[in-house]
Structure 1
Amino acid sequence: MWFEPAFILASVALLLGLVALFVAWSLWRQSQRKLEAMSRLMRELTRTRDSYRKQINELQAANIGMGNKVGELYRQHDRLTEQHQELALKDPQGKLYSRAMRMVQLGADIDEIMSECEMPRAEAELLISLHRK
């Protein structure tokens, strides 16, 4: 009975079936572990992506705010430039002082400044001492 070919063949077939089942179960378990590791990695990547997305949104909001502030500064600069030009046109005495300062920067002496800008000696000396430093 134990040595009958049918029994031996059945035993070998059962043993091969068990080995095949064990190999299949091992492969399935290994693939499950890989799947779990990939799922953990995907969750971490999703968190990282969400964090980067939040940072980008914050940077975009800051950039928009900065752009608005720069635009306001340009408008303020333009208004101040216009006001400065209006004041320069309204104040002929200021023109003389501007001209005298340019002359000092170009190296004019005190007599030239006094005569060209119709300025008293004390004022010419003061301009020279202030702007030649």
Structure 2
Amino acid sequence: MWLQPAFILALLALMLAMIALLVSWTMWRQSQRKLEAMSRLMRELTRTRDSYRKQIEELQAVNIGLGNKVSELHRQLGQLSEQQQELALKDPQGKLYSRATRMVQLGADIDEIMAECEMPRAEAELLLSLHRK
């Protein structure tokens, strides 16, 4: 009675069902592990993206600050250039001193400086001693 073909077929069908269930459960478990690994990877990528986004925002803020500073320095440079030009126009004596300084740098002697720049000897000597050191 135990070895009847219907019983054997039922037993085989039960064993096949259990094997299929075991294979399905194993595959489901593997896919769950893969899903968990992918979830961890996504969280890490999200954190990395957020970190990069924050760094970019900080760089943008610094860039804006630097741009403002450069604009301010450019404005100040323009003002200084205007002031320098005004001073050059107002102070013809300053031009003579600049010319005398260039002459000293080119190796002119005291008499040449006095003659070319219409400068007293004491001033020419002082200029020579200052710029030859």
The verdict on a shared fold, with TM-score over 0.5 as the criterion, is yes
Where structure 2 has 5 or more consecutive residues not aligned to the other structure, the ranges are: none
If the length of structure 2 is used for normalisation, what is the TM-score? 0.96
Q: How does 1:82-101 map to 2 (within 5 A)?
A: 82-101=82-101
Partner SS, residue 20 of structure 2: helix
Residue 17 of structure 2 aligns with which residue? 17
Residue 70 of structure 1 aligns with which residue? 70
Q: Deviations over 1:25-61 (max 9, x none)?
A: 0110110111011111111110111111011001101
Residue 59 of structure 1 aligns with which residue? 59
Residue 132 of structure 1 aligns with which residue? 132
- Distance in 2 separating the partners of 1:130 and 1:81: 26
Q: Deviations over 1:56-86 (max 9, x none)?
A: 0011011011011011101101110110011
If the length of structure 1 is used for normalisation, what is the TM-score? 0.96
- Distance in 2 separating the partners of 1:70 and 1:131: 34
Aligned-residue CA RMSD (Å): 0.9
1:122 Cα deviation from its structure 2 partner: 1.6
Percent sequence identity over aligned pairs: 81
Partner SS, residue 108 of structure 1: coil
Segments of 4+ in structure 1 off by > 2 A?
Answer: none
Where structure 1 has 5 or more consecutive residues not aligned to the other structure, the ranges are: none
